[in-house]
Amino acid sequence: MPLVTTKDMFEKSMKEHFAIGAFNVNNMEIIQAIVDAAAEENSPIVLQASSSAIKYARIGYLRRMVEAALEEHDIPVVLHLDHGPDFETCKLCIDNGFSSVMIDGSKYDFEKNIALTKKVVEYAHNKGVVVEAELGKLAGVEDEVNVSASDAIYTDPEQAKEFVERTKCDSLAIAIGTSHGAYKFKGEAKLRFDILEKIKEKLPKTPIVLHGASTVIPELVNMCNKYGGNIPGAKGVPDEMLHEASLRGVSKINVDTDLRLAMTGAIRKVFAEEPEVFDPRKYMLPARELICKTVQHKIRDVFCSSNKA
Ligand code: G3H
Ligand code: 13P
Ligand code: ZN
């Protein structure tokens, strides 16, 4: 099956109350692990690359590795730019065959965010590519933009409606209390489901996206720490909350940190237990397997997109 856009899978997700997992990719093993997990679950999937991932892996490699995955499996796969920082990066991805881009204008004021998003939407739609935009600020680090926790601004439902109507973006990333990275909450995890509900009331047909949605799986953090890592006090969004979000109208759930933890934990284990190993396949294989298992758990047990391909 060729690359698809998010259009059909988002429609299905809104009708049938499940979410599509969107996982960040940086290299071959990560791509293989995610697509293998999705194929095993017969689930649609979004593979997303940030601008720093594109700098690291190079756009041609990413595109062609995803093409290779498509040759192996017959499930709907989206190749998406995550947190596009400007028009030029979105254009680069559209021109290189991505089927979806995010323009992240959340660092700008409302009017500038609208103007930038509209420009990307116009270019993308002409080429059959869909656009995710963002309104509201997540606490934490968004690519190169730092937003301090005290600056975090939840998405305003009324503004969200105006934003979507004026920009004609295809989906909207909102801020309801999540943040990027491994340190999301100091005390109890809390998401503003009341804001999500109001946004869905105003925009019942717009697919909603949740960023910063890693669980920061305790077993993976422990594994990293047990084998020489130092990630104390890490905390993410519990599975139950993500499941609730998927039932309450979130169509796309973004995960990167949990994959980083899985890869690092698996590699650290081999390094610690088998110091004589220096064949990269001996530690990249368990890393790929643990990412695959992690993705499969999310798809099947949390986002409930199994058999929705
Ligand atoms: O939201 C950010 C993603 O985790 C990507 O992070 O810019 O380090 O690739 P990155
Ligand atoms: P996490 O850091 O919670 O995995 O969020 C990833 C993300 O939002 C990518 O856009
Ligand atoms: Zn994000």
Mean pLDDT of the chain: 95
List the domain boundaries for the chain.
Answer: 7-214+235-256+295-303
Task: Tell me which amino acid residue 171 is.
Answer: S
Measured CA distances, 251 to 107, 192, 256, 260, 273 (Å): 23, 16, 17, 23, 41
Q: How far apart are CA 60 and CA 151, in angstroms?
A: 37
pTM, entire model: 0.96
72: pLDDT strictly greater than 60 = yes
Domain 7-214+235-256+295-303 has CATH 3.80.10.10: no
- Ligand 2 binding pocket includes 255 (Cβ within 6 Å): yes
Radius of gyration (C-alpha) of the chain in whole angstroms: 18
- 29: buried, middle or exposed (CB in 10 Å: 19+, 13-18, 0-12)? buried
pLDDT band at 153 (very low <50, low <70, confident <90, very high): confident
What is the structure's pLDDT at 58? 98
- Token pair belonging to 148: 């301090």
Q: How far apart are CA 41 and CA 153, in angstroms?
A: 36
- Ligand 2 binding pocket includes 104 (Cβ within 6 Å): no
- Ligand 1 binding pocket includes 104 (Cβ within 6 Å): no
Beta bridge partners of 10: none
What is the structure's pLDDT at 51? 98
122: pLDDT strictly greater than 90 = yes
Measured CA distances, 291 to 64, 192, 239, 299, 307 (Å): 21, 29, 17, 12, 20
What is the structure's pLDDT at 143? 43
- Ligand 2 centroid distance, CA of 203 (Å): 23
φ, ψ of residue 216 in degrees (nearest 5): 50, 65
Pocket test for ligand 2, best of 23, 24, 252, 291 (most atoms within 8 A of CB): 24
Q: Which helix (H) or strand (E) holds 197?
A: helix 193-202
Share of the chain above pLDDT 90, in %: 94
Do the Cβ atoms of 276 and 282 come closer than 8 Å?
no
In the chain, DSSP assigns E strands to 20-24, 45-50, 77-84, 100-103, 130-135, 140-142, 145-147, 171-174, 208-210, 250-255
What is the structure's pLDDT at 149? 56
> What is the average per-residue pLDDT within 256-271?
98
- Ligand 2 binding pocket includes 20 (Cβ within 6 Å): no
> What is the average per-residue pLDDT within 167-176?
98
pLDDT band at 152 (very low <50, low <70, confident <90, very high): low
Q: What is the pLDDT of residues 177-226, one digit of tens each?
A: 999 999 999 889 999 999 999 999 999 999 999 999 999 999 999 999 99
Which residue, judged by its Cα, is nearest atom 5 of ligand 2? Answer: 212
Q: Catalytic residue among 82, 156, 256, 258, which?
A: 82
| Region class of 168: left (phi > 0), else alpha (psi between -120 and 50), else beta | left
> What is the average per-residue pLDDT within 267-276?
98
145: pLDDT strictly greater than 50 = no
228: pLDDT strictly greater than 60 = yes
- Ligand 2 binding pocket includes 215 (Cβ within 6 Å): no
Task: Tell me which amino acid residue 264 is.
Answer: T
Q: What is the pLDDT of residues 13-55, one digit of tens each?
A: 999 999 999 999 999 999 999 999 999 999 999 999 999 999 9
Q: Give ∠ CA 130-306-223 in degrees, rounded to 5.
A: 95
275: pLDDT strictly greater than 80 = yes
82 catalytically annotated: yes
- Token pair belonging to 169: 């973006």
What is the position in ligand 1's atom list of the atom closest to the CA of 180? 1
Share of the chain above pLDDT 70, in %: 95
